[in-house]
Structure 1
Amino acid sequence: MRFDPFREIEELTQRMDRAFGQASSGARLAPPVDVHEDEQGLELTLDLPGVQPDAIQIEAENNTLTVQAERRYARTDGRTAHRVERAYGTLARTFSVPAKYDLTKVEADFDHGTLTIRVPRSEAAQKRAVTVRSGGQLTAPKTVDAAAQPSGNAAQPSGTAQQA
């Protein structure tokens, strides 16, 4: 087998990371997310492979939604790791959520490593029928959007996360 100095450097770096605990602690990773919006509200879908459901924390406060999870590296005595490429540590994302969504009614489901979070529109932002009077006569009700805003105001990820 030919000598490859780059492979040797990569393996040495991995060994050092494992020796000093860098592979399992201190790392903050940003899991990938899809954000969709419809009439009912927002739906955020995050990939959290290898995370146990009890290791997930979701906090909603002051128009901010924070998702945090821990993926631990299982060390076993008497076993040598030749390659550790999967990410371990804290997975975290923070989203700025517009006021037209109700963070008090957040729902979350976790299935096969995929976390789905639903944030409904607030009742004040729901479409409703408004009766318009013209010359003292009632006309047919018209539906208006109480919180009409330009599109593109769905939850926006804020902050940055370092990747290991």
Structure 2
Amino acid sequence: MELDLPGVDPESIDPDVERNVLTVKAERKPAYGDNTDTVISERPAGTFSRQLFLGDTLDTERIEASYEAGVLKLPIPVAEQASLERSR
């Protein structure tokens, strides 16, 4: 899975899995100062989250996140038991 998160500080990214629901929370801070008037901004600032419902055949214990060039990558492997059943 890949999520586009441009302008997000990697330290603010918080992925969590609970009962086969992957939740990714993050915060994007404005690139401009407090005393700046903004006419338009394509990247909204603030805290946000996204959720993805995962199937039972995925191994949520082995998810490893990486963040590069504004993209959060979360490879989600197939559970070993499901992989064995598929190969039969």
1:121 paired with 2:75, answer: no
Kindly tell me the number of residue pairs found equivalent between the two proteins. Answer: 87
Greater Rg, structure 1 or structure 2?
1
Deviations 1:6-60 (A, max 9, x none): xxxxxxxxxxxxxxxxxxxxxxxxxxxxxxxxxxxxxx10000000110100001
| 1:54 corresponds to which of 11, 14, 20 | 11
Counterparts of 1:56-95 in structure 2, within 5 Å, are 56-73=13-30, 76=33, 79-85=35-41, 86-95=43-52
Tell me, yes or no, if the aligned pair for 1:73 and 1:88 is still in contact at 8 Å: yes
- 1:103 Cα deviation from its structure 2 partner: 0.6
Deviations 1:97-118 (A, max 9, x none): 0110011111111001100101
Q: 1:82 to 1:66 in 2, by over 3 A?
A: closer
TM-score norm. by structure 1 comes to: 0.48
Counterparts of 1:17-32 in structure 2, within 5 Å, are none
Unmatched segments (≥5 aa) in structure 2: none
- 1:91 Cα deviation from its structure 2 partner: 2.6
Counterparts of 1:1-40 in structure 2, within 5 Å, are none
Deviations 1:79-129 (A, max 9, x none): 432414231112311111011001111111100110010111111101369
- 1:75 Cα deviation from its structure 2 partner: 5.5
TM-score norm. by structure 2 comes to: 0.85
**Of the two structures, which has the highest relative contact order with CA contacts closer than 8 Å and spacing of 6 or more?**
2
Q: Secondary structure at the match of 1:95?
A: strand
Q: Identity of paired residues, percent?
A: 36
Tell me, yes or no, if the aligned pair for 1:64 and 1:95 is still in contact at 8 Å: yes
